[in-house]
Every structure is written in structure tokens, then in C-alpha cells.
Amino acid sequence: MPAYDEARSLLEEMFEAAVDAARAQTTLPPALPEPEEGGRIILLAAGKGAGAMTEVAEAAYLDSYSLPPERLYGLAVTRHGYARPTRQIEMIEAGHPVPDEAGRKASARAIEMARNAGSGDHVVVLLSGGGSANWSAPIDGVSFAEKQDLTRALLKSGATIDEINTVRKHLSLIKGGRLAAALGEGARLTTLAVSDVPHDNPAVIASGPTVPDPTTLADARAVIERYRIDIPASVRDALNNPENETPKPGDAIFERADYRLVARPQISLDAAAGIAMRAGFEVIQLGDSIEGEARDVADEHAKLAILLAGEGRKAVLLSGGELTVTIRGDGRGGPNQEYALALAIALQGHPSVAALAGDTDGTDGGTGAADDPAGAIVDPLTLSRAKAFDLDAAAFLSRNDSTAFFSAIGDLVRPGPTMTNVNDFRVVLIDNSLGRQQ
């Protein structure tokens, strides 16, 4: 096998290991609360991992715990294409990243189920990235169409996920601790979450529907102002209305609430690191919470990779987090694909460096379809393959059209829905033997 093919196979193996480490089948069962005598288990799930998490939790309660079906109740909502078969819990598919009517209705129903929980009931909330879009009921006075338009504007602005969620929480009936606030008297609440956000902040994962919100209406207004987003009068009024402030730390509503992380980005980086070390590579972990403009981070990683190659190091750079893309053109892509394209340009065909960038949920930006690519692979021949097709990599980057670029040269990563989500995964492989073997 040619050396570059071996490098690409190793990159793909590390990506698969990263995804497998965060799957619900292994991470969720040990964390599920045991059912008590009497009362119901009410499963409420949202996000890209909600299908798999619900499937696993339902099987555990019905089969492992032999819970009578009449004591298991709930509703799961996940991204289109991410549903899993269930026996007892209703599964709904909804829009992402822009919310749709299915998500609006599902969030209203989830609030009602929490409100109707009573003494002896245990509400178990299963959260993963994407839950912000899937649970999307707006507050009174803001129309659903206005919330959709604002989401689109925020996604194009270059705002970080923390900033986007700060705004969404203050315009939602369910986010920012409001699901916990709706909990019926006497019921218990446990949240089991898969982190897809930098620093694993529970208040940011799926916009924190069951935890206190440290952000304020003033913070939300500042985000709108910082990115110069044009908003209608109804949204402006809502963000100026003190009644729309979210529940804060110390609020008594959270005394009945328990919160546990079952998977996070670092476990995926560690799984990939194990693969790399067994292959004889030095592992350099750059962190699981990297943020910033995708093309800027790519430039930094390219410089580091070239430096390590110059020192004769055989190493891999691993990183996670959530990069952003400021939309300037009319192309298609996502942060991982844009990172890969910018990295290829910065490396200029360096013979010792190959890389893969992919979103662990299986899709990266794109149209919102389940078959969107997760990311792309870069190797020393990326630019020369593009040149053979008369493709100008810099021109594709300038119009944010990374999907078309990598599609034309056959280097998109397309795993399909992975049913989990611990966000971006990036690996840059440095090995001077690659160039010598070609």
C-alpha cells in the first residue's frame, strides 16, 4: 500500500475510534438512574444523539430493569435522519441547525410532560448537541418564523456557540433552565448529557434546559449588537423584558435536579490517541475546547506541523472543540471542511503531513440533510489533484465552498449519521517517511 494511502487509513481509523468512544451503547447504561418503587420513568430526549440514547435507555428500563411498559413514558426529538427504532417512547425527527415546526411542537409537548410529572415520577432528560434546535418553542411575543430567521443570522455571523445559545436561551420556553422550572411538584429530575461544547459547560449543552443560566438578557443584547444582527421589534422587546430573564444559580427549582456528563470530547481524543501511539506516533493534544475561525486555526496548525516535520518528529496533533465560519460567499461547507481546505492551502503540498477534520455527529454544516459530509481528508497530493481538475483552492475558500472542492477531488468524509455528537475532531499526522516512500 502506498505511504499516503496508509496515512489516510490511519486517519480514518482514528476518526472511527473517536466516534465509537462516545456512543450511547457504552457511555449511557452505567449512568441511568435505577427506577424506584411506583411512579414513572419519563424520558425526554433532544439532540443528534437523542435517537440512540433513547433506544439504549428504553432497552435498559424494559429489559435490564424489567420495568412494566406502563411505567415508561416520554418523547424524543432528534435531527432528521437520526431516529432509532423504539418500542415505547415516541421518536420525532426535526430540523437542524435551523429549527422547524416539528421541533417546536415536540418542545411544547416535552414541557407539558415535565409539568404533568408528579410525586414518585422521575424525569430523565437525555441531552446531546443539536438539542437547541430540536427544542425550539419561542417565548410569547416572538413568532416561530422570527426565531428561525434569527437562528440563520446567528449561524452566518461567526458567533460562537456560547454566544448563539445566550440569545436562544432568552427567547425560549424550554432552554436556559426553563424545563426544570416546569417540573411538576414532587417529581425528580436527572439529566444525562453528551457534551458537544468547549469546556463541557452544562449551561451551553443544548442551551441548558435543566440547569441554571449564568447569562443575562443584557448578554443576549450584547451578542446581537456585537455581530450587528438586524432584529425585528418583537425580538428587541423580548430581550428588553425583565420577565424573560432565565432562572439563575441558587434558584430553588434546581434542588431536585441532578446532572451528569456521560460523554465528552476528551474521551474521543483519548481513543484516537491510543490508536496513534500503537502506530508509533508521538501524540500532541492541543485541547478539546479549541474555538476560533476555522481558517485561522488551520493556519496555526499548519505552521506547527511544518515545524515538527522540520525537527524530524513522527507525531500527530489532536484537537477538538467547535470552530466557526464567517460566511462571506455563497458556497457550501462547514467548519471542518473549511479548516481542511485552509490547512491544505497553508501546507502547500508538504510531503510529510496529512490530516482529517470531521464532526463526530457525521455531518458538518451543509444543507441540514443526514447525508451531508462530516468533513474532509488532506494529504500532500490534495492541491495537485485539484490542479488536475483546474480547481483553484483559494477561490473555493474565498466563497466558503469547501464541500464542492473536496467533492470534486473525492476527499470528503461521509460516515452518515453517527448517533452521537462530541463535536469537532481534528488530527494532523506528521511523518517524514511519507515523502521518502512516494
Dump the DSSP string for 343-384. Answer: HHHHHTT-TTEEEEEEETTS--STTS-TTS--EEEE-TTHHH
DSSP annotation of 311 reads T
Grouping H, G, I as helix, E, B as strand and the rest as coil, residue 42 is strand
User: In this structure, are 288 and 206 located in the same domain?
Assistant: no
User: In this structure, are 27 and 9 located in the same domain?
Assistant: no
Domain contains 369: yes
Question: Of the candidates 247, 57, 96, 231, which has an alpha carbon nearest to the alpha carbon of residue 169?
Answer: 247
Secondary element (H or E) of residue 315:
strand 315-324
Helix axes 217-226, 161-169, angle to 10 degrees: 130
Q: What is the pLDDT of residues 231-279, one digit of tens each?
A: 999 999 999 999 999 999 999 999 989 999 999 999 999 999 999 999 9
**What does the pLDDT read at residue 438?**
53
| 64 pLDDT more than 90 | yes
**What does the pLDDT read at residue 2?**
54
Cα(169)–Cα(57) distance, rounded to whole angstroms? 27
User: In this structure, are 8 and 48 located in the same domain?
Assistant: no
Mean pLDDT value across residues 309-322: 96
| 437 pLDDT more than 90 | no
Residue 1 pLDDT grade (very low, low, confident, very high; cuts 50, 70, 90): very low
| 366 pLDDT more than 80 | no
**What does the pLDDT read at residue 234?**
97
The residue range of the domain holding 13 is 3-19+266-437
* Total tally of structural domains belonging to the chain: 2
User: In this structure, are 27 and 99 located in the same domain?
Assistant: yes
Residue 421 pLDDT grade (very low, low, confident, very high; cuts 50, 70, 90): very high
| Residue finishing a domain among 202, 237, 263 | 263
Domain contains 301: yes
User: In this structure, are 314 and 187 located in the same domain?
Assistant: no
Domain contains 70: yes
Q: What is the pLDDT of residues 142-161, one digit of tens each?
A: 999 999 999 999 988 888 88
AA identity, residue 85: P
Domain contains 220: no
DSSP strands (E only) in 117-184: 122-127
Q: Determine whether 59 is exposed, middle or buried from the number of CB atoms within 10 Å of its CB (0-12, 13-18, 19+).
A: middle
User: In this structure, are 251 and 302 located in the same domain?
Assistant: no
Residue 371 pLDDT grade (very low, low, confident, very high; cuts 50, 70, 90): confident
User: In this structure, are 32 and 61 located in the same domain?
Assistant: yes
CA distances from 345 to 112, 171, 315, 342, 393 (A): 51, 40, 21, 5, 7
Domain contains 228: no
User: In this structure, are 11 and 90 located in the same domain?
Assistant: no
Are 113 and 151 in contact, with CB atoms under 8 Å apart? no
Residue 97 pLDDT grade (very low, low, confident, very high; cuts 50, 70, 90): confident
The predicted model scores a pTM of 0.91
Q: Which three cell numbers stand for residue 136?
A: 425550539
> Which comes out higher in pLDDT, residue 1 or 144?
144
User: In this structure, are 105 and 10 located in the same domain?
Assistant: no
Mean pLDDT value across residues 166-193: 96
| Residue finishing a domain among 221, 237, 263 | 263
Helix axes 402-409, 335-347, angle to 10 degrees: 70
Domain contains 164: no
> Which comes out higher in pLDDT, residue 38 or 60?
60
Please, what sign has the CA dihedral across residues 150, 156, 158, 162?
A: positive
**What does the pLDDT read at residue 368?**
72
The CATH number assigned to the domain holding 113 equals 3.40.50.10180
Grouping H, G, I as helix, E, B as strand and the rest as coil, residue 122 is strand
User: In this structure, are 252 and 300 located in the same domain?
Assistant: no
Domain contains 400: yes
Neighbouring residues of 56: CB distance < 8 A, sequence distance ≥ 6: 24, 25, 28, 29
Q: Which three cell numbers stand for residue 230?
A: 438586524
CA distances from 159 to 133, 162, 229, 309 (A): 16, 8, 11, 34
Q: What is the pLDDT of residues 110-147, one digit of tens each?
A: 999 999 999 999 999 999 999 999 999 999 999 999 99
Domain contains 297: yes
| Residue finishing a domain among 239, 263, 287 | 263
How open is the CA angle 110-149-226, to the nearest 5 degrees?
105
Rg (CA), the chain: 22
User: In this structure, are 203 and 338 located in the same domain?
Assistant: no
Are 61 and 92 in contact, with CB atoms under 8 Å apart? no
Cα(411)–Cα(393) distance, rounded to whole angstroms? 13
The CATH number assigned to the domain holding 289 equals 3.40.1480.10
AA identity, residue 71: R
